[in-house]
Amino acid sequence: MTIREINKDIFTVGAIDWDRRLFDELIPLPDGTSYNSFLIKGSEKTALIDTVDPTKEPEHIDNLKRLGIKHIDYLVSHHAEQDHSGLIPKVLEHYPMAKVVTNAKCRDMLVDLLLIPQDKFITINDGETLSLGNRTLEFIFAPWVHWPETLLTYLKEDKILFPCDFFGSHLATSDMYATHEPGVYESAKRYYAEIMMPFRNNIKKHLEKLSKYEINMIAPSHGPIYNRPEFIIEAYKEWVSDDVKNEVVIPYVSMHGSTRKMVDYFVDALMQRDINVKPFNLTKTDIGELAISLVDTATIVIGSSTVLVGPHPAAVYATYLANALRPKVRFASVIGSYGWGGKMLEQITGMLTNLKVELLQPVVIKGYPRADDFKQLNRLAGDILKKHKEHKLL
Ligand code: FEO
């Protein structure tokens, strides 16, 4: 990654990962990602903000050497996850005098995960500052965005916030700044949906805390830098708000066409009632697209065939994921079909333990849908319309 100066004596020294397509062996990365790391030269001390994923070791070390960095005083570690901290041991080999600056929780995790010796750390508290001479780092604890140890750094004189994963986007781009905002919005929303959404209430509090800071630039650890911080702050405020949209998300899977016929009919029934609808065929969809749609939908309706005695495994996966991501969805239901019996409905609804939803009467039928079944789908569409109207969503 080209070294660039984002402010006088503050350089990007991270790496772009154009090829990565899966994160945590779980999250699809259609647009790659970047691991951002920043080098700050103060008049007396030099600080490195995070490192990069271990796969990018040569690039990261080379960036530091090309910049002519002979000495690092402080290596600030915001987050123990390996895509930012995994290279700390190697950086310490190259810069043995550097001290790892972090909070007690992150220190303990780095000791456990990366076997970094205890004597390598400087442990700081929330609100504490560290002088680089003409520059001051202020540390802001932000637990649960998205691990319990996370902290952020505010560079006071430059008014730059380094928030690690917070506000980030999995987006490999040559743009240093988020100049193409609509594209970055989608990537950042995907990132929020997949990583931050379960911690919506914590994020609300952190946004409130950050509102006291004057911020000229936000430099996250993934994706482009925000030189218009209000763009991403406003987007986050929208996503973490309690507001939901007049929309129904339908993750579904159909083995022999019965559930598919129900979904097609149901989609039309919702559209006729002026309700936005997003069906996701689980055998074809990018699961990240489903996660994005869950950020602000009012209603989720899970569609499943019956396999043996339970839901199709693809529906189990989508339901598990929706439950784990804890979207602010208000209403839920199930539609689907079975051949001779089973507990598909009970097993799906039994998985929705994290969601504070009102369950609307499901439509689970035997075999291929008939006239009475279509009536039931109309009834469910009508129930959803009534609920959305009661909540003034249309
Ligand atoms: Fe980008 Fe939670 O690591």
* DSSP string over 269-292: HHHHTT-EEEEEETTTS-HHHHHH
Q: How many domains does the chain have?
A: 2
Last residue of a domain, one of 180, 209, 240: 240
Largest CA distance in the chain: 79
Minimum-distance ligand 1 atom for the alpha carbon of 146: 2
Residues 170 and 273 both lie in one domain? no
Residues 264 and 214 both lie in one domain? no
Distance 76 CA to ligand 1 centre (A): 15
Last residue of a domain, one of 216, 240, 264: 240
Please tell me the residue having the least CA distance from ligand 1 atom 1. Answer: 165
Residues 221 and 306 both lie in one domain? no
Tokens (6 digits) for 355 = 């969601």
Q: Quick one: which of 218, 243, 128 has its CA closest to 168?
A: 218
Distance 299 CA to ligand 1 centre (A): 29
**299: confidence class by pLDDT, cuts 50, 70, 90:** very high
Residues 92 and 164 both lie in one domain? yes
Full domain range(s) for residue 114: 4-240
List CB contacts of 143: < 8 A, sequence separation 6 or more: 105, 149, 150, 202
Distance 83 CA to ligand 1 centre (A): 6
CA separation for the pair 249, 242 (Å, rounded): 17
Residues 53 and 31 both lie in one domain? yes
**28: confidence class by pLDDT, cuts 50, 70, 90:** confident
Please tell me the residue having the least CA distance from ligand 1 atom 3. Answer: 81
Residues 33 and 137 both lie in one domain? yes
Distance 193 CA to ligand 1 centre (A): 14
Q: What are φ and ψ of residue 393, in 5° steps?
A: -90, -10
Residues 356 and 280 both lie in one domain? yes
Last residue of a domain, one of 207, 240, 273: 240
Q: What is the mean pLDDT of the chain?
A: 97
CATH number at residue 121: 3.60.15.10
Residues 145 and 76 both lie in one domain? yes
Residues 117 and 36 both lie in one domain? yes
Minimum-distance ligand 1 atom for the alpha carbon of 165: 1
Judged against a pLDDT cut of 90, whether residue 60 lies above it is answered with yes
Q: What is the pLDDT of residue 20?
A: 92
Minimum-distance ligand 1 atom for the alpha carbon of 82: 3
Q: Rg of the chain over CA atoms, in angstroms?
A: 24
Residues 172 and 34 both lie in one domain? yes
CATH number at residue 273: 3.40.50.360
Minimum-distance ligand 1 atom for the alpha carbon of 195: 2
Summarised one tens digit per residue, pLDDT across range 190-228 is: 999 999 999 999 999 999 999 999 999 999 999 999 999
On whether the CB atoms of residues 148 and 80 are closer than 8 A, the answer is no
Residues 250 and 203 both lie in one domain? no
- Ligand 1 near 221 CB (within 6 A): yes
Distance 353 CA to ligand 1 centre (A): 26
- Ligand 1 near 83 CB (within 6 A): yes
Residues 215 and 320 both lie in one domain? no
Q: What is the mean pLDDT of residues 13-38?
A: 92
The whole-model pTM stands at 0.96
Q: What is the mean pLDDT of residues 123-143?
A: 98
**1: confidence class by pLDDT, cuts 50, 70, 90:** low
Tokens (6 digits) for 33 = 């990602």
Q: What is the DSSP letter of 133?
A: S
Q: What is the pLDDT of residue 197?
A: 97
Summarised one tens digit per residue, pLDDT across range 146-157 is: 999 999 999 999
